[in-house]
């Protein structure tokens, strides 16, 4: 068992620590061995320091011996996406740009919170430059590969974090989600990931993409995701958007009333009205239909009679927000360095410079209208469910799947970014596999501020389909 400590969840490790059956130093050594074997192949981590890891683990082991642990994450290894600032590691954001600061004298609020609870920071994970797209190809570090099939991509932009957790390189990771960047890679890598209600998890500095961006947990199980969420979902003085503390325990999940829940089923999330080419991969459709059958057999109240009719096209709104964010960020970069930037991001900058401040304000107004529409829809439903992605993982060298518009990097991710715009909490959970063994995620969306409902339904799906013990065979 000690050779496979890397396969254990955070909650399993805590139980072993309590029973003195292992300790953080043993776990850290085991994960370092896995890192050495797997990271060269996967490119999940851009930076990790064995000595730092072992030093943290030794301190944690000593605390467990003395019975003086810091908190709920003491001795739990966790990775950090390389968009989040850290004192002990450079933050390069997947970029060669040197005019933006790469070092910091403070940790991001979420990093500060997990350290205060005794977590062991494993290092920084790969991101595409500035987290700008739904695949993880970094101009600086290269492509992150999918542990389920290393010819395919891990999704993005938190692909490094998702690949790390899926491969057993730490049970937890902190990712960011500006348009699906936690949910997309978690769906591709067979994990649980959560995009919180905006403001629920504090951020600093604010993302260049503004109020569509969030920080969320990535884990193999809902229980582990809840453990991390309990730590990070508290306000911080550095984030003026952060919501008041509501003392929610995301691990206190009661299934007793779940059969009274009204669940809206939306196969295309109202986006087929705007993308003629959208269709579900046949294997995703089959898995999704099977899920609905199983839930119906189990007595859940599913309603498939409604449609989402967005007042305004979420794709147009999102592009306005995203492109103007890219253009604004470019103003902080020395002009002499612009040639170093990913060509896709340069395209975003060019597009963003075409918009006026009035275009941006109009997009914000339409965004608010869509959010209000969804709030009224939630008068009928407790949660909404549907596929997380319309496609399976694809070639790691491509930025869009086959048969999608290569000039539109958001054409293949239409199910995730609408909820970044509306600020609703949404999770993804693995609920099946394709014939070739690729994970298929289901998205759960809840009313604003009701993140716990995402955890509850995700945990229920996890319980029914019991896929958390299935491991990738390609690494």
Residue with tokens 């739904």: 134
Parallel, antiparallel, or unpaired for β 45-47 and 120-125?
A: antiparallel
Q: What residues are annotated to the active site?
A: 81, 157, 181
67 half-sphere exposure, CB direction, 13 A CA radius: 1
R_g over Cα of the chain? 21
Peptide linkage before 157 cis (omega within 30 of 0): yes
Task: Specify whether the CB–CB gap between 423 and 417 falls below 8 A.
Answer: no
CA distance 299 to 315: 35
Query: Looking at 220-342, which runs of residues are DSSP E strands?
Result: 262-265, 301-303
Task: Specify whether the CB–CB gap between 115 and 78 falls below 8 A.
Answer: no
CA distance 242 to 263: 29
Task: Specify whether the CB–CB gap between 153 and 400 falls below 8 A.
Answer: no
Q: Token digits for 255?
A: 């299934």
Provide the phi-psi class of 117: left if phi over 0, else alpha when psi is between -120 and 50, else beta. alpha
SS3 445: strand
């Amino acid at each position: 068992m000690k050779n496979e400590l890397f396969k254990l969840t955070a909650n399993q490790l805590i139980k072993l620590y309590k029973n003195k059956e292992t300790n953080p130093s043993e776990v850290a050594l085991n994960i370092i061995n896995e890192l050495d074997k797997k990271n060269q192949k996967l490119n999940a981590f851009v930076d990790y320091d064995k000595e730092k890891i072992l030093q943290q683990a030794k301190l944690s082991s000593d605390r467990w011996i003395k019975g003086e642990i810091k908190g709920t994450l003491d001795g739990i290894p966790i990775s950090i996406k390389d968009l989040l600032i850290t004192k002990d590691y450079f933050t390069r954001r997947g970029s060669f740009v040197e005019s933006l600061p790469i070092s910091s004298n403070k940790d991001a609020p979420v990093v500060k919170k997990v350290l205060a609870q005794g977590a062991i920071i494993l290092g920084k994970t790969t991101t595409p430059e500035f987290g700008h797209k739904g695949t993880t190809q970094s101009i600086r570090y290269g492509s992150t590969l999918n542990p389920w099939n290393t010819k395919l991509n891990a999704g993005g932009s938190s692909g490094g974090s998702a690949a790390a957790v899926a491969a057993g390189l730490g049970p937890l990771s902190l990712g960011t989600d500006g348009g699906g960047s936690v949910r997309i890679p978690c769906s591709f890598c067979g994990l649980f990931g959560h995009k919180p209600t905006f403001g629920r998890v504090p951020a600093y500095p604010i993302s260049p993409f503004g109020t569509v961006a969030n920080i969320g947990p990535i884990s193999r199980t809902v229980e582990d995701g809840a453990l991390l969420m309990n730590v990070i979902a508290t306000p911080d003085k550095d984030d003026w958007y952060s919501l008041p503390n509501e003392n929610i325990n995301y691990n206190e999940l009661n299934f007793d009333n779940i059969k009274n829940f009204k669940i809206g089923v939306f196969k295309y999330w109202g986006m087929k009205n705007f993308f003629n080419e959208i269709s579900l991969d046949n294997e995703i459709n089959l898995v999704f239909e099977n899920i609905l059958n199983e839930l119906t057999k189990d007595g859940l109240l599913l309603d498939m009679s409604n449609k989402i009719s967005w007042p305004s096209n979420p794709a147009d709104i999102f592009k306005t927000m995203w492109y103007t964010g890219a253009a604004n960020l470019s103003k902080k970069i020395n002009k002499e360095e612009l040639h170093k930037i990913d060509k896709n991001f340069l395209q975003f900058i060019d597009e963003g410079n075409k918009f006026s401040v009035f275009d941006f304000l109009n997009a914000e107004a339409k965004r608010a209208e869509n959010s209000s529409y969804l709030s009224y829809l939630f008068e009928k439903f407790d949660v909404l469910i549907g596929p997380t992605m319309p496609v399976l993982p694809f070639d790691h060298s491509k930025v869009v799947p086959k048969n999608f518009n290569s000039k539109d990097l958001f054409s293949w991710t239409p199910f995730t970014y609408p909820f970044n715009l509306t600020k609703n909490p949404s999770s993804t959970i693995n609920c099946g596999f394709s014939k070739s063994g690729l994970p298929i995620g289901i998205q759960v969306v809840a009313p604003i501020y009701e993140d716990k409902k995402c955890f509850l339904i995700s945990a229920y799906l996890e319980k029914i389909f019991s896929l958390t013990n299935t491991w990738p065979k390609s690494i």
